[in-house]
Structure 1
Amino acid sequence: MCKKIVLDPVPQTQHRPISIHVNTVISPNIVPFQRHFNYKKADWNGFTKELDQRVKIITPTPDNYDTFAQLVSKTARRHIPRGCRVEYIPGLSKECAEEYQEYVTMFEADPFAKETTAKGATVMESISKERNKTWHTLIESADMTRNSKKAWSTIRKLQGDPTTAPQQPKVTPNQVAHQLLLNGRSGKKHKTKYSGDPGFTKPFTMQELEAGIAKLQPGKAIGLDNIASEQLKNFGPEATKWLLQLYDTCRRSHRLPKIWKKSHIIGLLKSGKIHPSQRVIDQYRFSAIPTIYSNASCSTDWHLW
């Protein structure tokens, strides 16, 4: 593959030289560096065992929740790989990686040789077969009705669509805060009436907590405590018991951890054409990302939330 670039004009002439860069047939995709947990290679047994051993020394109170969140994060970094590949070739298997390295060596020596061209065609055929195999596996196992994130992610990888850096929004934090205040003023006063139902005062049960954790979906955005639903689903008996005692303490004391009252606010640019007279702030819709533990409490019919 070749890339043509028109250079600047030669001084005192109208001639503009052309530079031709010869690239390999297989070029890796360049993606921005951003660390992510690789949950497929996680040591969940070690994560569960260490967390259960160290969580016993923490008292389950709202004030100690930050300490508990730090413990979960440190334990996760020790047992879950966390890295990023800035260069990635979709469909390149371990068996084909050696052939690809041989092709790169031959290309650097002589890119126009017949052996180099034949080697590149062989590597491309192997990668195409691997992509075809991945596609069939996706079609047979993907469920687009509930969560299409995995399907679209695989489609972008097979198409070689590199991840681009997100654009910086043209909205200031003060404009976002002002718009959120306007959205919260509906003009109607809602008064909540509580009945004498004893369901609001009875303690939580382990069955309710396990039902709420089971409803959490993997791959969702995390909150300010940097704890994902995959980590919560792999809590051991001691960590789950600590979380249940924390909920009961919040119920009795009528207090919540401060971080549960905060959330990420993300501005998403609306699709479609924008009218020129429309304000810049009106071109975005805002989404709040709470902590995963508040989501766990809302995922079941609990009598407090």
Structure 2
Amino acid sequence: MQLIFSGKDRYTFHSERWKRGYNPDLCIVSKDHNGVSLHAQRSVLNNFRKSQHRPVHIQIGIQIPLVKTIPKPKWDFRKVNWPAFSKSLDDNIRWIDTTVNNYERFIGMVKGTAKRYIPRGYRHKYIPCWNEESDRLYAEYQRNGQAETADKLLESLAKGRKDRWTETVERLDFKHSSREAWNVLRRLDPCQNRDGSEPEIKPNAFANRLIETSRAKIDKNISRKLTMDLKVKKTRAVENSQ
């Protein structure tokens, strides 16, 4: 048996009496015949109306990450035929005179060459680092349904992500432009993906506290003393300004 728990998740129970959170709801999974715990993902949802308990969503089984892309064609620079692209630019640019009037013609020539040698398109659902090996393992898993095949599929995806990460890190260069490097570091920041915690103080309670403070009783002697001090300071300010 293994406990599935993360300290970053929100509390599953919020006591209105004590104004504190607790985790009485636990997720415990069993192990397979190889002694490996079942793959499970646990997430605590938002507050449930008129209840101090928060729903807990548990997914059992292997989950392959899917990324929904924006339906907008983009350039695929990994599949560019760079030699043909460079040769086409060199062959056509010599026919354009280096004058200001030919600037739009030059831009049109570059765009036309890019459309011929740089693929463009998009996928509705994208799985990072999915390749031909992943297709083969996925087809094999659909035939036999064995957990070992699924583990190999996940290992191939993990290896692809590792190789891409290594390639990205090797290309980082803070000397010429640090924008790409900082973008990578921001994506690694766990605080950006962390769910915002709900404030314990309600807006109505905050407003009621302001009203109660404004209606607080004031000592008459202290109020009279403050009024006299204010008059004295105003008189001195007028005398000093003359």
For the criterion TM > 0.5, the same-fold answer is: no
What TM-score do you get using the length of structure 1 for normalisation? 0.35
What TM-score do you get using the length of structure 2 for normalisation? 0.43
Instruction: From the CA coordinates, give the structure whose radius of gyration is larger.
Output: 2
User: Higher RCO, 1 or 2 (CA under 8 Å, sep at least 6)?
Assistant: 1
